[in-house]
Structure 1
Amino acid sequence: MSGRDWDLEVRSKKSARYAIAAAVLLVVAHTTVAILLRVSPTGVYFRTADQVAMAGIGFLLAGVALLLTRPRVRVGKSGVAVRNIFSERLIEWDLVRGLSFPDGAMWARVDIPDDEFIPVMAIQSNDRDHAVAAVRTFRSLEAKYSVGPND
């Protein structure tokens, strides 16, 4: 499905901001330490390769932090597409049993048959009003598209 075929697309707002800020902080901190390795007299001889490696570690850790910007949920006629940090899954409407947000949970979940669920990291409790609006819109689209037991 192309981007136009989805009725709803949600990403976490606060988690993405925190992840970007953490990534920037990691790059700045590691690059600063890399530059200062040769300046401070520690008794250890650091080479240029050590400085490059230290900065590279900062960029690597920043990339890991930016994985937290990936979660997304899209809802459309063909079903619910849930993308978390490492995986993406399309759940067809005949398998969707609802969207729940248990008390104390950090994120929502799509309920599927046999008391199983798929976490939806894109709808997080720390987003508050944004999360509430996303859940309400999801449920209205579920009512529109879901297949009932007698359909």
Structure 2
Amino acid sequence: MSDLPVLPVTFRPSRTRAVLLVAGASIFVVITTVAMLLEQLSPGERASFVFTGALLFGVLVLLARPKVVAAESGVTVVNIASSRHLDWAEILQVNLRPGDPWVFLNLSDGTSLAALGIQPGIAKQHAIDDARTLRALAESRSIHDPDQRQG
């Protein structure tokens, strides 16, 4: 398959990530500015405003973290609070069905892993293209004998 990308390749919801990071930075700046402009606040109260802004920014940074990295050695799925590396042979199927919030990977151990790095939120067609690319990569690198895949 000559249309497959050169590895490593990173899939992430770029528009969603940009929105989250810009919103987080804006919230932090606004809350910090308000804290500094309100003269009746004590230094402790100002610090609590800044801390709250930083906490909100941190939450949005975590929400912007998801990505899927495909490399020769396999796929690394980075979700909000976890990261997992999979060998190519562990991935049996890459699914993004209509209505799914993100890609699901069906694994050889019988479980399914959500891959939040490919999500149709703001850029649906981009997510569909990314899911197709990841599916093609997984199929090109997996074991093609069904009896070996189940073992």
TM-score where L is the length of structure 2: 0.82
The equivalent of 1:88 in structure 2 is 83
Counting only pairs closer than 5 Å after superposition, residues 102-141 of structure 1 correspond to structure 2 as 102-113=97-108, 115-126=110-121, 127-141=123-137
**Matches of 1:105 and 1:132, distance apart in 2:** 11
1:63 Cα deviation from its structure 2 partner: 1.3
Partner Cα distance (1:24, 1:88) in 2? 25
Equivalent residues of 1:95, 1:113 under 8 A apart: yes
Letter of the 1:10 counterpart: F
Which residue number corresponds to residue 16 of structure 1? 17
**C-alpha displacement at 1:16, in angstroms?**
0.3
Secondary structure, aligned partner of 1:102? coil
Q: How many residues align?
A: 141
Conserved? CA contact 2:89–2:141, under 8 Å:
no
Distance (whole Å) between structure 2 residues aligned to residue 75 and residue 114 of structure 1:
20
Q: Which moved more, 1:5-14 or 1:88-97?
A: 5-14
Q: Which amino acid aligns with 1:15?
A: T
* 2:142 corresponds to which of 131, 143, 146: 146
Q: Secondary structure at the match of 1:141?
A: helix
CA offsets, 1:26-51, max 9 Å, x none?
Answer: 21231133123325xxxxxx312211
Q: Please say if residues 120 and 126 of structure 2, whose CA atoms lie closer than 8 Å, have aligned partners that are also in contact.
A: no
Structure 1 vs Structure 2 CA RMSD: 2.0
Task: Render the CA deviation track for 1:105-137: whole Å, top value 9, x for unaligned.
Answer: 111111113652111111111222221221121
Q: Which runs of 5+ in 1 are unaligned?
A: 40-45
- What's the CA shift for 1:7? 3.5
**Which of 1 and 2 has greater Rg?**
1
Could you say which residue in structure 2 is the equivalent of 1:65? 60
Structure 1 segments (4+ residues) deviating >3 Å: none
Give the counterpart letter for 1:38 in structure 2: E
- Separation (CA, whole Å) in 1 of partners of 2:147 and 2:114: 27
Matched, 1:100 2:95: yes
Residue deviations 1:14-69, cap 9 Å, x none?
A: 21012112202321231133123325xxxxxx312211221121012101111122
Q: Does 1:56 align with 2:51?
A: yes
**Structure 2 residue runs without a partner (length 5+):** 1-5
